[in-house]
Each structure stands twice: as structure tokens, then as C-alpha cells.
Structure 1
Amino acid sequence: MADGGNRRNATGEVPIQFVQPSRSGKLLQYEHAAKETCTLMDWLGYGPHIRQARSEAYKVHDRLLTALSGGSATWITTGSKAEGLTCYLESDRDIICVNNNLICIEEGVDSSNILKETTILRACSRISYPGHYILLLQRYGTTIPKRVDNALCDDGYGRTFLSSDLYVNECLNIKPTEGQETHERAGPSTPSTFYGGALHTDIVHALHLYCPSILTRWAARPRNWPTPDIVQEVVSVGAVVTPVGLKGSDYEHVEWRLCFNAGENVLVNNLTDTMVKVYVLLKMVKQDVLKPRKKEVTSFTVKNIVLWIAENNPQSLLHERSLLHWLHEGLYALRVAIDTKELPYYMIPERNLMAACALEHEQKLSWIATINDMIEEGPIMILRLPQIRRALIAHTEPLRWYSGRKIEMEMLVLICMNRITLGMDEETDVIVQAAITRSADIRKEVRHRMIMEGRRENNLPDFYQSMLS
């Protein structure tokens, strides 16, 4: 698709326009490879129906956890689990737990109509990098959580602020639930594991931030996507601040970062199927080809590239046949971001997502050369991705059969997760027992087929875990 023309932004270099090329032999080659790749990705668990089912299951679980908190907290699953892109035990589950007992408001917002029972913090950004705040105590409510009170500090000028560093340390003292094993903090998160370490979760304790001016500026941008109703939904779910400052900042240990996790969930879940698959492929490039050691490039980085592409291009062009074209455009934008160390945050363009990345010069040159090679390779570049390569080598019928059983197993586990969280007894609930029975049948079917094909797998518990990873 090199025949197409592209116009690019001066900053960030994200693609803003795609001119439809003539239907040359090269284009037809790309389109055929793109359609085959889309089909493979559906079999591998990235199709729209399984993504939606996963996403809905975690939304239900979040609502149940929120209800169990008695209104004191709102639980929000974020990242790949909320986006429906990873299996139950594949990668960590990222959760934001938002404290409902206080509210942060940006400067200039009138607080007179906020209930007197609510503690108010004023978000001050004048001395911080865009998208980061110092939280100053404006008013005590009738009650204030102990972990908030213990994280309040005096700035030496008669003002009280909430330390992000102290707040995370206070959250580490929260009593774990049954079966939960907590671990040392990792940045703003409090990691924990369940089921003997098989299920990993990263919980970030956050606060609500009312920031109408920022959301209004985002909503008013001229765009091809998302549609006005989705824009309003993103605005309605609002924003939070998480306890992490800009790396290297003089105020790093007291700063809080503005996040739109719930809104970003809405955006990703409303991307076209093709753009979701571009996102997945770029994540594979990041993980399996570039292999960052210190989070120099993250899934959040490539997510923002995909969101910019979606916003700046007509949706009619983001179809299945153009998958590999947009993958190349995503790689181009990633290369520019690595080269210039600049990538504007989709929600707040003034914030540079590459500002604090620990990218060394030799590593940068190596990554740029690798991405250049991938762009030059054309459709065969997807063979660099182990998951896609293995699927291409596999026979079609066994792959589809196994993928179907794997997806069914995962759906049964998600049903059990929500039934048990709802308070149903695992030993007596009819639905849970039926799911457990069917799950056991699936494992036996898969093990039997593997044995018939010459492989040996006799440890059912380990086999169960591998099917959900």
C-alpha cells in the first residue's frame, strides 16, 4: 500500500489522512494477507464476540465489587481485561479502586454545591507537568478515611496536601481478603495474587477528579471518531487521579496523575474490529519483537497511537482489508515516537507520553532499525510475531477445534467468578456446578485428542491452567 498518500502531524507524527490507492497487484496481496490474519486472530480469541463477552463479564464483576463495598469505593477493571483482549490467567488484571469518600476538583470549579459531608481536595497544576497535580486540602468532610488522614502533610506555608507516596503506603495496610496474598508495592499499585499465585492482580487506589475544562476541550476537538454519543459517554464517566508523579520531577512523591481509564475502556470497546486487531498486533510487536526492559514502550503507548489513527481517519477506511496498511501506519508512528521521544497523550495532547521513558541511544537505534525492517518486509512481517506464526503453521481444523474449547472454558470460568462474587455457594449453586462439570469434560476432550495425536498430558490441574493462559 505504498501507493497511498499520507499527511502527518508536525508533532507526534500520527497519521491523519489516508488516500485510497489504486487496486494494484501489491494492494491485492496486502488485502489477501490482511483477511487471513483477521481470520486467524478470531480463532486465537481476538474476535468481536469473545472480546465483548470478556468485557461484559468484568463490568459485571466490577459492579458486584462496588456493591460489596457499600458505596465507599468504585471498582474499575482497566487494561487488556476490560478491553477483552486477554484470557483469564493471561497477564495481570489491572484494577482501579476509587475512594468515594472524597472528591478532587480542578482549579476554577465552584465547590459550594458539594455536600458538606464530603472532603474536598483542590487539584493544583501550576507547578506540575501537564496531566499531573498537587492535591491541596480545601475542606474536611464529616468523616475522612484513616489512610487519607495519615497521608496528609503540611507544606510549610500553612497549606495541607495529600502525599501520593504516603497514600500508596497506607493502602498497603489494607487487610487482604480470603485467598489473597499481597506483595510489595510496584509504583502506584498494590500487587496481589490468588489461587496460589496463578491469578495476578494490580490494584491502584485512586480518587475522583472533577475536571470539566479538560473533558470539554477533548470533546470539542474536530474528529472522524468517536461518534458524538460515545464522546458524551466518555465525558460522563469522568476522570480519576492516581498516586504517581512524573518520573524525575521535583514533586514526584507528592504528585498525582490524571487518568481517564473508564473513558479509555469505552473508546477501545468502540473501535472498529480492524483497529482493535491493529492494537493487538502492535502490542505483540512491543512484547515479542522490541522486548522493552524498563517499560520504555508500553501497551499504553501503542493504545494511544491507535486512538489517534482512529480519530484522524474516516471509519470507512478502517476495514478488514486494510489491516496491514494500518499496522504499517502504527509502526511508522511508533518509530517516530521512539526517534523523537514524543507522543501526545490522546486525552491531553500537552502531555508527552515519552517524556520520562528510559530509552538509551543504542537501544533507540536498534528499535528504529528493527521497525524499518518490518515496514520494508510487507505482509511477511507478521511472521515475526510468535503467536501468529504458530497459528499459521498449525493445521486449520485442530486449531479451530482447540480454540473453541479454550474460549468455552474461559466463559465458564468467568460465569463462576461472578456467581461466587455474588455470594453463591460453590458447592450447591446449580450454575456453578454445571460450569465445573462442563469444564472438566472439556479438559478430558482436549487431553484425549492430544493423546490420540501422540502427545502426553496427564496432569489435569496444570492442564487447566495452561488452557486459561
Structure 2
Amino acid sequence: MQHVSESMFVGLCDIVGTSQEVAIRRETRDIKEMVERRVKPNGTIVMLSGSRREGFRLEGSDTDLMYWPNNHRVIMDMSQSEYYNTANTTLILSDSSESPPGFTLLQLLTPTTFREVQSACVRKNNRVYISSSIYRGLTCSAVVPNFSVHGPCGTGIVGRLEYDTAICFVCDSWPVSASSWIDRCHSWPASKVVGDIVRNGCHFMAIGHPLGPHEHKEWRISFSQAEYKLVYSMNHCQFLTYGLLKLILKEVINHQSEETNKLLCSYHMKTTIFWAIQQNILPHWCPQNLLAGFWVCFKLLLRWVYKGICPNFFIPQNNMFLTKVYGSAQNRLFLQLHELYKKGLACLLQSPSIRSYIIDVLYNPRLSICTDESITRLEVDFDIQLITEFKSVETLDANLCYLTNVIHIIEQYVESPKSLYQVVTLPRLTALIFQQTAFLLQNMYTNKRANKQMYIADKIPCHMLKLAAKFGCISDMLYIAMYYYKTFSYREALCIIEMTKVKLAQPYLMYYGHVDRERYTEAVGGQSWSTKMRQAVAVDMELGTRICYVSELIPEQQSALQKGKARTLIIPVFVMLHFLEFLCYRHIDTTLSQTALDELQVLVHHDRGLYVHDLLRDISWEILGICQQITGNLQAALYSYQQSLTHDPYNNIQTATQGRIQDIVQLTPHQYQ
């Protein structure tokens, strides 16, 4: 049993992640959100929640996002109103007197300028309440294009990722109905974690209890923020056990029958392990006891299904099985789980993800199992994970006041204590801010100042971009080239492009997780992260859609804004390299311009995911078409635009593409009649 447990530990680390990989995922997200919240006192706050926030990257998982207006606050009783300035904060009162445990009505106390809140107001007993169902419909349609309702969320698909977006309200106070949870926390979590959770309050999600008296007006109390902090406080064996429960639910339990495959969800698994840890059923959670921990949780879940009661971890009176697990479906589910229980731990063999790890040990009982992460993972593995997570800190608002506030906040963070991966993430975030600020400044000053003032105004953004490239990665040099192109300094831009070309041609380049591990380790292994970034790492170009970087891409930026993808266009770095090279050489050497276009065409036509990710083929074909249209090759451009439309609309540029196609058809109508 001990050997099998250790094998499972290693196997789950392969699937779920090692403790170091999970820490990378969490800490890069945490610092980005910390910065955002500090600089958006009256804006809309976005919080990643659910399994991705907890540190999972399981295949097929959706992305859960919570949005709330930061100038609206829910209070638990009227006495709390004195802590807020109602001149700039809208107050909402939680009234749970008529609602089931875990649910409440929200009464609007002070005026709001938020149009969706105004439209969702309904009257009851001469008081104004916010209807959860109306608010959900209004806000989800604004944030999630082509959404469908999924519980309190609007579900939509961007590229191949499914997003669950919940628009909610925040409360700085811990709900009275969850006060018993504080008293229960004797052994877990630690008092420091409890204090942090209680200080940060809760949220209210736009969904009522289906059996409550005011289903369409009620709101559910959400502990999403508390939950990810509880998951953070687990040791890695507990976290892997949680991951194993999620896998068994997805690959075994939900494959039993159509009648029962939607009765249990991942949230029930999370609740199960929370109770199992807090009740101290298993004193020692370690690799050798991993399967014992899983079995404790499975038996607890079986008991709950038998009784038809799944107590919410924070408000136990809220039975989360009440409207789903009852009657014949409950009996059927219990019998299915009981059949798995009778098989014992052999039921795990039904999971295709983990079956091989168990079989290896069963057939090789003397197999040596190593659970030491420093041996099972190489330095390059963690570097790949860190680069992957950088994608989650790539988007900020294109507002100069906002960006200068971010710079000020980052100055403060430089001096404050930080974890290892926050130290690494901070320069990347700073580089992004400098890049956006530089182009914002350039856009502001263009054609608005005299020559001397323009010279000074040009020097500042250029210096910021060079500074960003010093502690950024290889691809950050192309922002300098973009700036030079935008300011008509074509030869300077081409010098930067040539330098970037040389670096991108290195055999140890790390891009999109593709890397020659031996050469990478040989070239930069053991060196500082800043050195690795400058010499061996490239990421895709992210252009904020509200900032003009390259005028040729303005229609695509406007299209993305109209489609709801309001933050960025994402462009493969090699596509951007050839694009800029083509644009610059047009003004210097037409032969070399054609060479750059030929290289771009070969890349877009023949790459198989090495340099152009499948999700970014829409923008890649679009850029090829733009270049072909500039040269006058309208037939080739038309083909490229048509190809762009056939690919995943990840960048939401279809409106621009269709407009460009229409332009060509109007120029040569006789060819397309």
C-alpha cells in the first residue's frame, strides 16, 4: 500500500503539478491581482477563482472569473454604514431574514451610477432590492459575448477555453451565518489564515435558492476568496488528494450513468476534503498516506449521498444536496458509489489518467519510487511553467493615470517582502507597464508639440522601452522596433529587428514550452532568471487594443473591442518580426521587403504549431494578408483573409477581416461577380 501511495503521489504530481509548479501558478496570479486592486479604487475588479486560481491546470477545465464594481459595498447591518463615504460608495444591505441559509436579499440603500444595478432594481414592501436574475442577465451579456446561463455565471468560449464569468458584489464583513466556522477552526486552518479570510469578507453571487421564497431576487453568499486561501493552506499531499477526487469524479463517477452524471460536481469534492482535513480524520497527510486520505474522503462522500446531506463548509445548515441529490436519483447514485466502495482502492483502476501509475507498481513491486521534487523535476521544467504563467499577467488597462499608479505601486512592492516567484514576476509586469506607457505617451504627443518638445517627448518613451527590454525577454526588443517604425526611424528599427533575429535563432530558445532541454541547460542553466529571460526566452506579442502600436493593425484592434475582447491582440513573435521587417524595408529596399514577406508567407503557410500556435492562426493569416494587400497582390491577400476566417476566432478580428475582404471586392468587382 505504501509503495502504491508513493507511486500515486508521483503520478499525480505529473498530472496536477509538483508543489513548486503549483506555487508558480498561484504566486504569479496573486501579485498581478494585488497590483490591480491597489490601483482601481472605483473600477471593476476581476478575480480568477475556481480550480485555476487554486493551482490546477487540468485538461478540459474551464476558467472561472468573478467581476465586481469596487465602488459598491454590501454591509451586514446598518451600523456598518458609518465606515463608508456614501459620496463615492454605493451601499447595499444584506437582508437574510426571509431566505434559506447561505442566501440573502440585497437592498439598495444609496444611489448608484451603475446602469445595470439601476435596471435590476425591484420594489418590495416599499424597499428597493436588486434582482439577481435581472442583474445576471444584464451584466453577463455585457461581459461574455454569446453567453449561456450556467448557475450564477455567464458561460462563453474564447478560442478553445470555456469561461464562467460571475458578476457579483463584495462585502468587507464576514457573514454572521458563517460565524460558527471561525469557532470550528481549532486544528485547521491556522489562526493566521482564519484571520486573513475573515478580514477579507465574502461576495454575493447572482443566483437564488430554487426552493426559496424569492428565487429570482435572492443572492448566494460566496466564499470563493476564502476557499482558494484554504486550498493554499493545504500541504501538497492534501492538494494532490483533492486533485485525485476531481479526477475520479470526472473519469469514473460521472461515467456511471446519464441519470447521475450531473448530480455531483467539483465543488462537492472540495467540500469533502475541507471537512476531512478539519475533522482530523487522518492525522498525517503525507505521500505514504495519499491513498488512505483519498479513501477517507470517498467514504465521507458516500455517507453524505446516503443521507442526502452535503453540509456547506462555511454554513453547514446549507445542504448543497437539497435540490439535486434526492429521491430515485439519490438512490441510484448511492448504489453506484457503493459498487465502487466494494471494489476498494481497485476502483482507481477505472481512471485512465492514473491507472498506469498503479499498474506499474503492481507489476513491479520492487520498483524504486522517488518523491523528491528536486530529482523528479529539472530546472528547465520549472522555467517552462513560469513562462507559461506569465500569460496571466499580460493585460492591463490602457489608461495613463492607471499605469502611473501601477508604477508607483510596484515601487512599493520592490521594497516589501515577496515570495521567490513574485520576485521573478514583478520585472515582467513592470516591463509590460513600461511598454504600454511608452506608446500611450507617444500617441499623446504626436502632432501636438513643437520640434524641441517632440524630441524630449520621444526620448522618454524610447528610454522606457529600452529599460523594459533590459529586464524583459527577447521578444520585448520588438516593442522598441515598433516604436522606431511608428516614429519613422526605419533603419534604427531594422537594427533592433536584426539583433532580435539573431537571439531568436539560438538553438536553446524557449518559446511556447518548446525548448531543447540540453542546450538550454548548457547555455543558461544555473544562471539568474533575468539572464535567462534576456538570452533564451521569447513570448508572444500582446498589443493592448486601446493603444496604437502599429497603425496597420488599427482595424483589428477596433474589431476586438467591438467583439468584447477589450484588452489585447496576441500575435506570434515570429509573425511580428517578419511583419515589422516588411513594413520597415518598404521605405528602404523593396527587394528586402519582398524577402521579408516571402519568409512570413512560408511561416504562416507551413508552420505546424512550432512558431505559430493554432489559436493564433487568425491574426497570423490576417497579417500576411495585410502585407500582400500593401504590395498590391490582392488575390493573395483575399486568400489570406479568407483563411483567417476559417481559423479559431481567438483574437476576435472577424469584423476587420470581413471589412478588408469587402475593400478588395470593391476595388476589383469584375473578378468577384
1:202 is paired with a residue of what secondary structure? strand
SS in 1 for 2:354: helix
Determine the structure 1 residue equivalent to 2:18.
47
Which residue of 1 is the match for residue 148 of structure 2? 184
CA RMSD after TM alignment: 3.5
Q: Is the 8 A contact 1:223 1:312 kept in 2?
A: no
Quick check: 1:215–1:235 contact (8 Å CA) kept in 2?
Answer: no
Aligned equivalent of 1:381, options 347, 350, 361: 347
Corresponding position of 1:411:
386
> What is the CA deviation profile of residues 385-405 of structure 1, one whole-angstrom value per residue up to 9, with x for unaligned ones?
1111245568999xx999878
Contact 2:7–2:357 (8 Å) recurs in 1 = no
* Closer/same/farther in 2, CA of residues 67 and 270 from structure 1, 3 Å limit: same
Superposed displacement of residue 319, structure 1: 2.3
Distance 1:333 1:84 in 2: 24
- Look up the equivalent residue of 1:204 and give its one-letter code: A
Which among 294, 301, 321 is matched to residue 327 of structure 1? 294
Q: 1:43 to 1:122 in 2, by over 3 A?
A: same
**1:128 equivalent among 89, 99, 103:** 99
Q: What are the Cα deviations for residues 28-85 of structure 1, in whole angstroms up to 9, with x where unaligned?
A: xx22211111111112243211111111122234345546756423322111111101
CA distance in 2, matches of 1:55, 1:352: 30
**d(CA) in 2 for partners of 1:312 and 1:108?**
36
| Paired letter, 1:439 | Y
**What code does the residue aligned with 1:97 have?**
Y
SS in 1 for 2:122: strand
TM normalised by structure 1 equals 0.78
Q: 1:154 aligns with which of 114, 123, 128?
A: 123
Kindly name which structure, 1 or 2, has the bigger radius of gyration based on alpha carbons.
2
Matches within 5 A, 1:340-355: 340-355=307-322
> 1 CA distance for matches of 2:216 and 2:311?
24
Q: Distance in 1 between matches of 2:51 and 2:220?
A: 20
Task: Report if the CA contact (8 A) 2:29-2:392 is conserved.
Answer: no
Shift of 1:314: 7.2
Residues 219 and 402 of structure 1, relative CA distance in 2, 3 Å threshold: closer
User: Match of 1:328, as an amino acid?
Assistant: W
Give the structure 2 partner of residue 460 of structure 1.
609
Q: Which has the higher helix share?
A: 2
Correspondence for 2:571: none
Tell me the equivalent position of 1:19. Answer: none
Query: Does the 8 Å CA contact 1:132/1:255 hold for their aligned counterparts?
Result: yes
CA spacing shift, 1:381–1:186, aligned 2, 3 Å: closer
What SS is found at the alignment partner of 2:72?
Answer: strand
Q: Which amino acid aligns with 2:609?
A: L
Q: State the Cα deviation string for residues 332-382 of structure 1 (Å, max 9, x = none).
A: 111122222201111111111111215561x43443233233333333332
Residues 441 and 315 of structure 1, relative CA distance in 2, 3 Å threshold: closer
Give 2:574's aligned residue.
none
Tell me the secondary structure at the aligned position of residue 169 of structure 2.
Answer: strand
2:167 counterpart of 1:208: no
1:80 equivalent among 43, 47, 51: 51
Paired with 1:290 and 1:136, the residues of 2 have a C-alpha distance of 41
Q: Is the 8 A contact 1:224 1:315 kept in 2?
A: no
Deviation at 1:250, TM superposition (A): 3.2
How many residues matched?
413
Q: Judging changes above 3 Å, is the alpha-carbon distance between structure 1 residues 150 and 462 closer, same or farther for their aligned structure 2 residues?
A: farther
- Please point out which of 70, 94, 109 is paired with 2:64: 94
Partner of 1:264: 227
* Structure 2 gap ranges (5+): 362-366, 397-428, 437-464, 477-502, 519-606, 616-673
2:168 maps to a residue whose letter is: A
Mapped partners of 2:336, 2:474: distance in 1: 48
Aligned to 1:75, what secondary structure does the other structure show?
A: strand
What is the correspondence of 1:2-21 to structure 2 with a 5 Å cutoff?
none
Residue aligning to 1:4: none
Q: Secondary structure at the match of 1:342?
A: coil
The aligned amino acid for 1:190 is G
Which amino acid counterpart does residue 266 of structure 2 have in structure 1?
Answer: S
Letter in 1 for 2:154: T
Query: Aligned equivalents of 1:300 and 1:317: distance in 2?
Result: 24
* 2:131 pairs with one of 145, 149, 163: 163
1:145 aligns with 2:114: yes
Which structure's residues are more often strand, by fraction? Answer: 1
Distance 1:108 1:148 in 2: 20
Name the CA distance, whole Å, in 2 between partners of 1:318 and 1:463: 43
C-alpha contact 1:296 1:359 (8 A) present in aligned 2: no
Between the aligned partners of 2:235 and 2:513, the Cα distance in structure 1 is 35
Counterpart of 2:240 in structure 1 is: 277
Residue in 1 that maps onto 2:84: 114
Q: 1:462 and 1:366, CA in 2 relative to 1: closer, same or farther beyond 3 A?
A: farther
Q: 1:207 offset after TM fit, Å?
A: 0.7
Q: Percent identity, please.
A: 18
CA distance in 2, matches of 1:175, 1:32: 49
Q: Specify every segment of 5 or more residues in structure 1 that has no aligned partner in the other structure, as ranges.
A: 1-29, 447-457
Distance 1:255 1:60, change over 3 A: same
Shift of 1:172: 3.0
